[in-house]
Structure 1
Amino acid sequence: MPSLFESPHIPFELSSSRRTGGRARPTDTRLDLQRVRRGVYIPTSDWAAMGHDERYRAFIHATLACSPTTPTLSHYSAAAMRRLPIVGGWPETVHTVVSERGGGRSSGVYTRHRTSHPPEVDVIDGVRCTSLERTIVDVARTGSRASALSMADHAVRLGHTTTDRLLEEDRRLGTGRGSHQSRALLAIVAPDAANGGESFVRLLLHDAGFVAPTLQHRIDDSDGLVGYVDFAWLDAGIVLEFDGFRKYATLEYTGGSPEDVVWREKRREDRLRAVGLRVVRATWDDLTGPAPRLLDLVSRAGAPRRRLGGNEGAR
C-alpha cells in the first residue's frame, strides 16, 4: 500500500479509491487502521497514542497531503501547528487564508478566510502557517475569546512574542470585523496566567466587572513559603484557586498518589486560612453555562468590582 508522504513522521496510508471519492478502505484489509479523514488512514495504535491536539494536527497533515496546492494555514489550524493552547475543542475543518481576489470558497474540509492584508508566513513541520502574531490576532478577531486570550497569554509568557507586537499586528490589519474584540482582548493579556483555564477565569472575571486579581502571588507564613496562589485580591483578603484536575492525575504534579496531592492541597489551604485569607476554589465545571458558578463564588466571597464593568460574556 502506498504511503502518502514521509514527513512529519505520521504513518498515513492511502485508500486505493481516494482519487475517486475515497469511500473505500485501504487495499490492505487489515482491521487495525483508523480513519483520519476521507481516504486517509493511520494505524489504530498510533491514533490511540495521540492526544487531542495531536489528532487535530494529524487531520491537518492528512488534508494537506490530499491537496493539489500548498495553502497557508491560519486561525485555529495555524495555532494548532504552533502548539498554542485552546479552550474547548479544535474545529472539524482546516483553516486557511487566501487573498480577497483569489482562492476558493470554504468547503466541507476547508474554512477559507479572505484577507486584503497578506500575512507573513513561517514553515512549521513542513507546513506554511501565518506568523505567530497574525495567528493570535486572527483568532482574537473571529474566534473564541477565551481561546484567543489563552493563546496570547501563553505566547507572551514563553517569550515568543510581546503584547506590543500583538497590538502592532492588530493595528496593521486595520479596523473591520472583530477589530474591537481583538483590541479589548489584547489589552488584558497577562503573561503570569499559567494555563488556558486561568486565562478563561480571568476573562470571565473581567467581563463580569471584577477588579483584576494579582496572578501567581507568593504567600508566606511563619513556617516559610505556603505557595503561589492562582489569583489574589489582597486588599480584600481573598484568594481564588483554579483546579484543572490535571495535577491530581499526573505524576508531574503528584510525585505520588492523587490522595497525597489532595492531602497536600488541604494542608496548604489550611495554612492560607490561618494567615487570614478566604480561599475560593473553582473547577472547569464552574466556568461553563450562561451564568458560570465561578462568578457567584467570588461575589459571595467579597471580591471587589470595578466601578464600570463590561458584561460581554466569554466563549
Structure 2
Amino acid sequence: METFARSSLIDLGSTDDQLRASVQDGALQRVRRGHYAQVESWRSAYVEERQRALAQAATRSARTPPVMCRATAAAMHGLPLFRLEDERVHVLAGHGGSGTQSDAVIRHREHTDGSFVVCDGVRVTPLVRTVFDVARTARPETALACADAALRRVSRPQRTRQVDEAASREFCEQFRQVIAEHPGARGVKQARRIGELMDPRADSPGESVSRLYLVQLRVRAFAVQRPVMVASGRTYWVDFEIQGVFGEYDGAVKYRDREMRGNREPEQVVFEEKVREDEIRAATSRRFIRWTSSEIRSLATYARFLTDNGIRVPASA
C-alpha cells in the first residue's frame, strides 16, 4: 500500500489542478493532507495496510517524527485490527501536549515512559504497551485478536505448535505490569480481562473471536487446539473441541493468502482440508462442524449457529 506526497507528484510534473481533477474523477483519493493514493488500491487494502500507509505518510511529513500508538502502533507491529471501525491515525501528543482529534488524526495525551521502537521507519509504542492500549480502548473482538497475535509472535515465532512457555509467561507478566502502572486508565478493566483470555495457540483473529464468544456465552466443556492422531500416524490439530464435537473456523485468508497456502492453489487447499477432515472423522467418530466470519459476525449469530449444531448454550447467555 503506497501513498504519494503532493510535493513528489508536483516534482514529477503534476499540478494542483490535475490532482484535484484526479480526485474528482475517482483516480486518486486524498487520504490525508498533502497525500494521495490510487483509489482502487486504497479501497481494496485491509485496514492494517491503510493504517501503516498513513503512519508512514505522517512520519515523512513531520518535522519531528511522532510516536504512533494504539491501533496505528498495532498495525506497524504487524498485528491484526479485526473489525476496527475507527481508521484514524493515533499519535501520542507528547509531554505537555493536548489531546486533540480531526477527521484523520487523534492525538492522545497519555502517561508514558517515553520509550518507543521503530517499525518500518515509524516510531511506535513498544509491543506490550501497544497491546495494552488496544486491549483497553478497542472493542473486545479487536482487542483479543490483537493480544493473541502478539503473544503468538513472542512464544511461537516459527508458527509451530510448540509454545515457548517461558516467553509466554514473560510477556504476560510485562502486560500485567503495564496494567499495574495505569490503575485509573480508561478501559483498564477490559484490559485485565483480555490479559486473562489471551492465548498464543490461536492462529487467526477468527479463532480468537470464536473463543471470546464461547466464553461470553458460558459454553461448557470446550478446549482449543486438540491433537488428533489418525490411522497414518500423522497428528492433526483441530481448532476447537466443544462438548465432544470438533469445530474449526474457516477464514478466507487460508485460501486467498499464497504464503498461508504454501504456494498451493486454493483448490488443492480445499481438497487437502477435505481429506484431513475425513481422516479425523474416521479416527475419532466425532462430529465435525465448520464456521466462517458470517457465523461470528455477532454473539447472537454464533449462539444460534452453535445451538443449531447441537451445542448446548445456557439459556441466560
Scaled to the shorter chain, the TM-score interval is 0.7 to 0.9
Distance 2:59 2:263 in 1: 41
AA of the residue aligned to 2:150: A
Tell me which of 104, 109, 127 is aligned to 1:114: 109
Mark the CA change 1:100 to 1:291 in structure 2 (over 3 Å): closer, same or farther. farther
Deviation per residue, 1:164-216 (Å, 9 max, x gap): 21111111111342111110111011100011111111111111112373322
Question: Match of 1:218, SS?
Answer: strand
Residue 180 of structure 2 corresponds to residue 171 of structure 1: yes
Tell me which of 234, 247, 255 is aligned to 1:248: 255
Distance 1:272 1:230 in 2: 13
Question: Match of 1:187, SS?
Answer: helix
2:270 aligns to what? 262
Residue 268 of structure 2 corresponds to residue 273 of structure 1: no
Mark the CA change 1:267 to 1:83 in structure 2 (over 3 Å): closer, same or farther. same
1:238 aligns to what? 245
Residue 182 of structure 2 corresponds to residue 190 of structure 1: no
Mark the CA change 1:25 to 1:220 in structure 2 (over 3 Å): closer, same or farther. same
Question: Match of 2:197, SS?
Answer: coil
Mark the CA change 1:11 to 1:196 in structure 2 (over 3 Å): closer, same or farther. closer
Deviation at 1:105, TM superposition (A): 1.7
Tell me which of 198, 208, 211 is aligned to 1:202: 211
Distance 1:46 1:223 in 2: 45
Distance 2:29 2:39 in 1: 5
Distance 2:298 2:122 in 1: 37
Does structure 2 conserve the Cα–Cα contact (< 8 Å) formed by 1:198 and 1:242? yes
Range moving further from structure 2, 198-207 or 170-179: 170-179
Range moving further from structure 2, 44-53 or 202-211: 44-53
Q: Which has the higher helix share?
A: 2
Deviation at 1:305, TM superposition (A): 6.5
AA of the residue aligned to 2:4: F
Deviation at 1:118, TM superposition (A): 3.9
TM-score, normalised to structure 1's length?
A: 0.78
Does structure 2 conserve the Cα–Cα contact (< 8 Å) formed by 1:93 and 1:108? yes
Mark the CA change 1:206 to 1:92 in structure 2 (over 3 Å): closer, same or farther. same
Distance 1:51 1:138 in 2: 21
Distance 1:16 1:87 in 2: 33
AA of the residue aligned to 1:167: R
Deviation per residue, 1:105-162 (Å, 9 max, x gap): 2222211222234453222223221111111111111112112211211111121762
Residue 154 of structure 2 corresponds to residue 159 of structure 1: yes
Q: Aligned-residue CA RMSD in angstroms? A: 3.6
1:6 aligns to what? none
Deviation at 1:37, TM superposition (A): 2.3
Mark the CA change 1:273 to 1:163 in structure 2 (over 3 Å): closer, same or farther. same
TM-score, normalised to structure 2's length?
A: 0.78
Range moving further from structure 2, 63-72 or 194-203: 63-72
Distance 1:187 1:302 in 2: 28
Deviation at 1:90, TM superposition (A): 6.3
**Matches for 1:84-123 after TM superposition, within 5 Å:** 84-89=79-84, 91-98=86-93, 101-123=96-118
Mark the CA change 1:38 to 1:239 in structure 2 (over 3 Å): closer, same or farther. same
1:3 aligns to what? none
Question: Match of 2:234, SS?
Answer: strand
Question: Match of 2:290, SS?
Answer: strand
Distance 2:52 2:130 in 1: 16
Does structure 2 conserve the Cα–Cα contact (< 8 Å) formed by 1:16 and 1:25? no
Tell me which of 212, 215, 218 is aligned to 2:224: 215
Unaligned runs of 5+ in 1: 1-8
Distance 2:54 2:257 in 1: 27
Identity %: 32
Mark the CA change 1:187 to 1:157 in structure 2 (over 3 Å): closer, same or farther. same
Range moving further from structure 2, 53-62 or 194-203: 53-62
Give the number of aligned pairs. Answer: 295
Residue 57 of structure 2 corresponds to residue 62 of structure 1: yes
Does structure 1 conserve the Cα–Cα contact (< 8 Å) formed by 2:303 and 2:313? no
Residue 281 of structure 2 corresponds to residue 289 of structure 1: no
Residue 6 of structure 2 corresponds to residue 14 of structure 1: yes
Does structure 2 conserve the Cα–Cα contact (< 8 Å) formed by 1:150 and 1:199? yes
Deviation at 1:224, TM superposition (A): 2.4
Distance 1:53 1:137 in 2: 18
Mark the CA change 1:165 to 1:92 in structure 2 (over 3 Å): closer, same or farther. same
